[in-house]
Amino acid sequence: MVKLKEYFRHLSREHPSRVISKLAVGDVIQRSSNQFYKIDDIGLDEKFGEITDDVSAYKKIYNYFKSNKDDVTNLFENTDDNSTIPFSKVVKGKKGVCLEKAIIGQMNFQRRKKESFVISGFLTVNDLCEKHAFNVVLEDAGAYLHDISNPSRNPSTGKKIPYIIPIENIEGNFKKISVPKKLSQNRVYSIF
């Protein structure tokens, strides 16, 4: 497991815009080719109340943002330079999809002193590949993928449950993140 942890640390040094290891005030994160967020408050996760574990963090962040990609894009209209907005505007407007949820997740992991990353990569489901952001959290027991935008469903009840899955390996040129097949739900996460 040490190899896997070191590999994520290495990727964050080699590809800091794809594998973000730490957020700080003043950081600029690319949302799309011409849209960026400027981190203006590193404590925005505190808006969700006290969060002491990964499952409650996941649920609070997932339930807070009620929007789609168009809602998020509209936040950039009528801004001074129409390309960079303060990230606090996203939280205040409760507008967010995968990247926004991953950023808030990262803020919470940092506050709780967990080594973690925002991954700006891809998600493939049923041969449909889309840009997607998610988190990787390094724990003593291993590395875990947190997809705050896409919960699982309990097969018995149909109830949404957090998609927090152990990572087994990173493979190939596209840096496919391998998770246990029985937990994958036919999802394929990759960094490139």
Q: Which of 157, 158, 39 is CA-nearest to residue 102?
A: 39
pLDDT at 33: 79
pLDDT at 67: 77
pLDDT at 78: 66
pLDDT tens column, 126-159: 999 999 999 999 999 899 999 999 999 888 998 9
Instruction: Please give the residue range of the domain that contains residue 38.
Output: 2-190
Using CA atoms, how far apart are residues 23 and 176, in angstroms rounded to an integer? 24
> Is the Cα dihedral 163, 165, 170, 172 positive or negative?
negative
Number of domains present in the structure of the chain? 1
| pLDDT-flagged residues of the chain (< 50) | none
